[in-house]
């Protein structure tokens, strides 16, 4: 089976450092170990090999939409012609529109995954969901929004690279870690405000919102807060494996009053922290409670409640034995349910199940 993954933005250098961009790369990398797999993204023109995975990025001729989630390039049709199965990431985009339309023309089964992002699209007018072979969604929370298409929905969740993200044996510091983009709906200011002024907070991530980045720095004044910038590879793993606790304080309504109904449909940071045996504190929103077992691998608190968040973080920092037990349980949970290998296997099984049904429908 030849599988083509298509993502509007590349992850990392020349792209975006976010879960919606990293997810396709990690999944395609794992899938390439079991079947012939390619990943196509858009941005800077480049071709690279990542183990068995071929990654190609095209420089778009233009975009439909403002967020660069609707790239246009004629080579998309050529790439899809090679594949037996097409898996498009970011459902509510013009890229998904193109994939489904080309799938009809080329008679290719197209599977769609929603990562919470959106841009100008014509999904409803083109009946993209109806035209897709299946919806591979990252959480049951996400799946609730597609209840009318239950026959096509399969929940695949997400994963962590458990060889890369693993405990190092290094001593844990009395520190709280946040890792991710510095954007308002991540609620990072609640972490800074919630803990004691003398508690060390380390923030790993690049700013994607200038006003919010300035607010975070003002909030950190007089507190033990370090902004580490964007971290990758061993540097990020080191932060996970030495932190006393990791926090994901995301909210559905940010400090500026903007709502994000799908702010955290999954949360890869949670899985990577658990893989490193780092206990977690996260908000009770989106798909995060599906990953973090409250009281078993971490603590779940109400979103936007700085006091509750701070109390939970301080409780784990003050009880290393409990924190260690939660962390160890977290890695076991990842190994049992949330490896990229398992996600790839769930996808391939769904391709084999639903693609023939789509082909049969098109011949009747």
How many domains, in total, are found in the chain?
2
**324 and 192 together in one domain:** yes
Q: Tokens 């991710």 map to which residue?
A: 180
- Asked if the structure places residue 364 within a domain, the reply is no
Q: Is the pLDDT of residue 263 over 90?
A: no
Q: Is the pLDDT of residue 364 over 70?
A: no
What is the structure's pLDDT at 192?
98
What is the structure's pLDDT at 180?
94
Q: What is the pLDDT of residues 116-147, one digit of tens each?
A: 988 999 988 989 999 999 999 999 999 999 99
List the domain range (segments joined by +) for residue 312.
Answer: 175-337
**307 and 345 together in one domain:** no
CA dist., res. 58 & res. 76, Å (int)? 9
Q: What is the pLDDT of residues 269-302, one digit of tens each?
A: 999 999 999 999 999 999 999 999 999 999 999 9
Calculate mean pLDDT across residues 256-271. 94
**Closest to 80 in 3D by CA, of 52, 48, 58, 49:** 58
**146 and 292 together in one domain:** no
DSSP output for 199-246: SEEEEE--BS-HHHHHHHHHHTTTS-EEEEE---HHHHHHHHHH-SEE
What sections of the chain are H helices per DSSP? 19-31, 75-82, 94-106, 123-126, 128-131, 140-143, 188-194, 210-219, 233-242, 268-275, 288-291, 306-317, 320-337, 340-363
Q: Is the pTM of the predicted complex or chain greater than 0.85?
A: yes
CATH number for 9:
3.40.50.2000
300 Rama class: left (phi>0) / alpha (psi -120 to 50) / beta: beta
The percent of residues above 70 in pLDDT, for the chain, comes to 97
- Asked if the structure places residue 218 within a domain, the reply is yes
- Asked if the structure places residue 77 within a domain, the reply is yes
**205 and 65 together in one domain:** no
Place 13 in a pLDDT band, splitting at 50, 70 and 90. Answer: low
CA dist., res. 95 & res. 79, Å (int)? 14
**189 and 325 together in one domain:** yes
**89 and 56 together in one domain:** yes
Mean pLDDT of the chain: 95
29 contacts 347 by C-beta, under 8 angstroms: no
What is the structure's pLDDT at 240?
98
**323 and 246 together in one domain:** yes
Calculate mean pLDDT across residues 197-221. 97
**Closest to 51 in 3D by CA, of 25, 76, 75, 84:** 25
Q: Among the listed ranges 332-341, 344-353, 354-363, which one has the minimum average pLDDT value?
A: 354-363
What is the structure's pLDDT at 19?
81
Place 20 in a pLDDT band, splitting at 50, 70 and 90. Answer: confident
């Amino acid at each position: 089976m030849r599988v083509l993954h298509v993502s509007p933005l590349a992850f990392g250098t020349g792209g975006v450092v976010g879960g919606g961009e990293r997810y396709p790369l990690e999944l395609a990398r794992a899938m390439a170990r079991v079947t012939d797999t390619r990943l196509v993204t858009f941005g800077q023109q480049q071709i690279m090999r990542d183990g068995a995975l071929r990654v190609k990025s095209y420089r778009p001729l233009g975009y439909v939409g403002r967020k660069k989630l609707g790239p246009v390039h004629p080579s998309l049709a050529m790439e899809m012609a090679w594949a037996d199965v097409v898996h498009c990431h970011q459902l509510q985009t013009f890229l998904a529109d193109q994939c489904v339309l080309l799938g009809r023309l080329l008679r290719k089964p197209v599977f769609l995954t929603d990562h919470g992002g959106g841009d100008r699209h014509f999904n409803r007018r083109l009946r993209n969901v109806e035209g897709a072979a299946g919806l591979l969604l990252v959480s049951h929370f996400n799946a609730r929004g597609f209840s009318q298409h239950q026959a096509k929905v399969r929940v695949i969740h997400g994963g962590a690279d458990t060889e890369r993200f693993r405990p190092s044996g290094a001593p844990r510091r009395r520190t709280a870690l946040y890792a991710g983009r510095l954007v308002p709906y991540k609620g990072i200011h609640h972490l800074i405000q919630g803990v004691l002024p003398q508690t060390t907070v380390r923030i790993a991530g690049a700013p994607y919102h200038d006003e919010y980045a300035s607010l975070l720095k003002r909030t950190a004044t007089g507190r033990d807060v370090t902004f580490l910038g964007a971290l990758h590879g061993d540097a990020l793993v080191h932060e996970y494996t030495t932190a006393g606790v990791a926090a994901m304080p995301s909210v559905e309504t940010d400090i500026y009053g903007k709502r994000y109904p799908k702010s955290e449909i999954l949360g890869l940071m949670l899985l990577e922290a658990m893989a490193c045996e780092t206990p977690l504190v996260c908000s009770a929103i989106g798909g995060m409670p599906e990953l973090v077992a409250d009281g078993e691998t971490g603590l779940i608190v109400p979103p936007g409640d700085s006091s509750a968040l701070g109390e939970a973080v301080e409780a784990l920092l003050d009880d290393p034995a409990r924190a260690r037990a939660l962390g160890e349980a977290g890695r076991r949970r990842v190994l049992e349910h949330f490896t990229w290998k398992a996600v790839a296997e769930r996808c391939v099984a769904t391709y084999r199940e639903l693609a023939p049904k789509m082909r049969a429908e098109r011949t009747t």
